[in-house]
Amino acid sequence: MSGYLRTTLLLAAMTALFAAVGYAIGGRGGMVVAFGVACVTNVFAWWNSDRMVLRMHNAQPAGPQEAPELHAMVSRLAQRAGLPMPALYIIHEDQPNAFATGRNPENAAVAVNTGLLQRMPPEEVEGVIAHELAHIRHRDTLIMTVTACLAGAIGMLAQFGWLFGGMRGRDERGGGLGPIGTLLVMLLAPLAAMVVQMAISRSREYEADRGGAEISGNPAGLAHALMRLEQGRRAFINHAAEANPATAHMFIINPLAGLRMDSLFSTHPSTEERVARLMALAGEMGTPRQHRTQSTWAPSGGAAGPWSAARPQRRRGPWG
């Protein structure tokens, strides 16, 4: 199934969910209004959701002057993947993580957290970047970014439901479901949107892991990067992701710390399973299974790997 067909089906499913929430809080009139809002949101999400998500996480552009070594790495990997050079962004968050966005390869962007650049050796950073480029090459970024935008909008619509429709009760012409029904919608609609995110995200992560390993030529490097990222997720809270949980499925590792019910509705497959598949792929490709950089995780904030010794006075490391 092509990326555009998957996106079309997703838009249809999310629009139907919008309409159902509208009916629940406002009857037939609410359904019509919600359908109109959904159509407008779909058009907006198609063209602007990537910029919206980058703003949610306060991502800052990083060109060759701001991050020369990182920019050179991304450019080299993009050429290897047969892709245009994506726009590069840096997010000032201690949790190591990254995501890609954009409606097509010609309008794509890769965003990395400063925690990733501070605490991971170059071959692991390379594996993470290659994973994100695989998402771009597979055209996953459009559907993942649109999903983030629409899931957030559904959550807001459900929260506003009590104000606009819950207290009005059910009328004889097909009104809303009343206070109890509206309360259920407020709880269940965001969960329904999260289930859609889970369905489209988990299989894509396996595919992007394989594609990233092929692009970088180092499955073990990506496998070890995933283990370090999982440790970082548990050690640091990603404040922007916690404030915008609808974007969680876009990251290479689930950025949510399980402060709510995040662990019950994870948008990512098991990190252990992903690592096992990558190590098996390393055997198939005939690449070394042993990671050549034996640096340890540094939860206190110090840079791991060779960069800490090379530039101890510079907290952000050599990436800019």
| Active site residues per annotation | 132
Cβ neighbors of 194 (< 8 A, separation 6 or more) are: 151, 265, 267
Least Cα distance to 128 among 224, 6, 27 occurs for 224
CA dihedral 182, 183, 184, 185 (to 10 degrees): 50
The separation between the first and the last C-alpha atoms of the chain, rounded to the nearest angstrom, is 39
Tokens 């992903």 map to which residue?
Answer: 274
Alpha-carbon distance values, 263 to 256, 257, 270 (Å): 8, 8, 11
**Amino acid occupying residue 313:** Q
What DSSP string describes 46-97? HHHHHHHHHHHTT-EE--TTTSHHHHHHHHHHHHHHT-PPPEEEEE--SS--
Sheet holding 87-91, edge to edge: 60-61, 87-91, 109-113, 98-101
Nearest CA among 250, 235, 257, 216 for reference residue 122: 216
Query: Residue type at 189?
Result: A
Please state, in angstroms and as integers, the Cα–Cα distance from residue 66 to each residue in 19, 61, 89, 123, 320, following that order: 45, 9, 10, 20, 5
| Strand, helix or coil for residue 261 | coil
Place of tokens 């098996």: 280
> What is d(CA 177, CA 214) in angstroms, rounded to the nearest whole number?
52
